[in-house]
Structure 1
């Protein structure tokens, strides 16, 4: 594993650039707005690449909130490279098989969950625990993280970009908007306010202790508390339900996705009503209602949709949107957080390769490298949802299995950025910047 003190010869690419550069060696100042996974991931890799990094986060203190989050093998290889495997592994679930049933409880497929896959591990665990570990790791690298920051304005000139935060004017070579689906940076990038709209779906979600809620004592639910981590799924018309035990079967996460066209103008997260949740599984395998009803509380989370943004970068090329600020994902993709990590890693690499005098070129090249890949991953998530929600009674086996394509999970964002930067940047230098294009072909679920 590498650290900030240097890199071995095996940690260098044909470009001659080290994976781990001396601190502040590039002279590039990076300001990141948001300390979620996208912002922290970008900050860590930017520090490794020799950039000077500042994170501005609106929350005044770190809280370990949330439920389950999934990082695919493509993000996992990044965490391993950072030396975080042993820490993450201890708090993650280790499911060997996904069991998918129809609404009547008939088993449709037992899908193996190999780990590692394509040379890297996946990490699935409590969002708050993993976030805390990544946050503390970023701090251990000496990254300046300022909490309680109110970023009220973004700006850019030909030579720099910056923000006003808590009344202070902060300048940098590049500003990264990692401020989530409610991003204020997005308005500067687009020149107008892009309001989210309902995806037509919502999820009820919960996370709780099995013993405290009697999951292990109920004959209808004790099957998921067997001293190991298990993942059970049920699919029906326009609904899918996943029950995921972790911490050796001691914790349970329930997530049920269903049709919902509620207005999301002001908010899309509410306390959920158990009676409304249970109506969704009326007539289903009785284990579903039994598992759902054990939750002491529910979150009713409306799934937000945005049309693909025409661009993720500002006109001057010194402001970039990453993660959910640029491209929110459906949960069925299991890639939202992973693609956010890839965004940050790729951006850090191209900034290193371009150098301080060519930051706008680096940012435009970054978008060119990332845009179609991200959209392809988004489409895969939509196809998985449709596959489950429109499944016919006779659909079994691979017809309802989650695809695990190598193009997605076997990707090494850092290595890829080193490999393609020169050719991608050359095209922009020769032909000028052009808005990115969407993938021509919508991939099938197994593609």
Structure 2
């Protein structure tokens, strides 16, 4: 592995050069990103994943420019790994429920010096998975992690009945994280957010999108991106692959009990009922889907901490901070988590892993919460807008503080002062940032 320098530090270290051993539980985007950057920073790392084989599943996923700059640094843009399978929208057209255009928002890409990547979740995941393997990340499939543990000098898991140990464990095991119980000291239960999403992904030609005058504009001129907003509802539809595939998501009020499941097959009559009386193009697009998923949006109050008492276990991604889809940042913040953690471990060294983990939480916590709050304000902006809302009041914000961020560079820049503050004041639980300014929309 070559050595590349920049920002005054060694960006790529020799394999296993730090002596730090990391176990990552979960091979989703958070776990893969953490393992990839850990490998690049010279840590010994392997991933434990419960699934026995990789399956290309899911629908649309978005990575902001803040994560795009990381993917580009890994070579995933120049090597044409991600870009060919992504959507290439130049604008988002937002309509009211009657079909009148409220705003056509420019979607400049690249922005703030980096690309954004939006595409099929399963396809992008498959390519990131293969990239991780190509640089030497060991991924063990079919691994059932039943327990997490830590001592003063190490941490580990019980996996398939075997006790495994490392310098630290990364819980990237999603919203139903078992690692969260060790961190919190109790089992944290999700609750309903009051909203749910119907979502689908399908082939345009097979479903006759190009033959219906109410839907053909979504496929005949390349990739298109349209949204409709109404009281407590927003509906987004887009095409990719030059108009060959379509995905849609429609967010609506739903107070269903989520004790048993939050994702299951949706019923088309329920989907169409949400847009009854709306612009007929909405029902036309929705009804093209051969099937859909009914996904209940679970919510968790911000966790008081993402790290264990001994600071040798860290929660990242959805295990630590589930996001609303309207933030368009859940996957991006998960990647930032993993990259930042790998950097601080490199800077702290093997003898100071707990300090690195505490510094990581301090670096990440308020930024992540601020991004979460943006998802809530985006949803409220659309769901409370009047049908004659001015364009700028329903435009998705794309702030530089969020999309222009470089997680790797930032970690190198603030690590020393962060550690110094912890040493002087002692470790303190993170504090929540102040609420974002209320978006001025008509009630």
TM over 0.5: yes
| Structural mapping, 1:82-121, within 5 Å | 82-85=74-77, 86-121=80-115
- Aligned match for 2:11, one of 7, 10, 19: 19
Q: Is the 8 A contact 2:311 2:354 kept in 1?
A: yes
Verify the 8 A CA contact 1:376 1:443 in the aligned structure 2.
no
* Alignment counterpart, residue 411 of structure 2, candidates 403, 407, 417: 417
Query: Structure 1 residue 153 and structure 2 residue 147: aligned?
Result: yes
Q: How does 1:278-289 map to 2 (within 5 A)?
A: 278-289=272-283
Once structures 1 and 2 are overlaid, which stretch shifts more, 17-26 or 64-73?
A: 17-26
Shift of 1:394: 2.5
Residue 45 of structure 1 and its aligned partner are, at CA, apart by: 0.4
Checking the alignment, whether the CA contact within 8 Å between 2:199 and 2:250 is kept in structure 1 is: yes
Partner of 2:240 in structure 1?
Answer: 246
Q: Secondary structure at the match of 2:211?
A: coil
Q: Distance in 2 between matches of 1:308 and 1:226?
A: 44
Residue 358 in structure 1 maps to residue 352 in structure 2: yes
Residues 443, 345 of structure 1: CA spacing in aligned structure 2 closer, same or farther, 3 A cutoff?
farther
1:119-167 Cα shifts (integer Å, max 9, x gaps): 0000000000000000000000111100000001100000000001011
Shift of 1:5: 2.2
**Root-mean-square deviation (Å):** 0.9
List aligned pairs for 1:20-419, cutoff 5 A.
20-85=12-77, 86-419=80-413
In the alignment, structure 2 segments of 5+ residues that lack a partner are none
How many residue pairs get aligned? The number is 438
1:444, distance to aligned residue in structure 2 (A):
4.7
SS of alignment partner, residue 245 of structure 1: strand
- Residue 46 of structure 1 contacts residue 52 of structure 1 at CA under 8 Å; is this kept in 2? yes
Distance in 2 between the 1:444 and 1:333 partners? Answer: 15
Cα contact 1:379–1:443 (8 A) shared by 2? no
One of 412, 430, 439 as aligned partner of 2:424: 430
Distance 1:420 1:271 in 2: 46
1:392 deviation in Å? 1.5
Distance 2:17 2:348 in 1: 13
Q: Distance in 2 between matches of 1:272 and 1:396?
A: 34
Change (3 A) 1:374 1:445: farther
Distance 2:232 2:435 in 1: 25
Distance 1:110 1:381 in 2: 20
| TM-score normalised per structure 2 | 0.98
Q: Do structure 1's residue 5 and structure 2's residue 13 form an aligned pair?
A: no
For residue 115 of structure 1, give the secondary structure of its aligned residue in structure 2.
coil
Change (3 A) 1:444 1:49: farther
Q: For 1:251-294, what per-residue CA distance to the aligned partner results, in whole angstroms no more than 9, with x for missing partners?
A: 00010000001111111001100001100000000000000001
* Preserved CA contact (<8 Å) 1:380 1:443: no
TM-score w.r.t. the length of structure 1 is: 0.97
Q: 1:147 to 1:18 in 2, by over 3 A?
A: same
Post-superposition offset of 1:445: 5.3
C-alpha displacement at 1:393, in angstroms?
A: 2.4
3-state SS of the aligned residue for 2:174?
Answer: coil
- 2:238–2:246 CA contact under 8 A, matched in 1: yes
Deviation at 1:396, TM superposition (A): 2.1
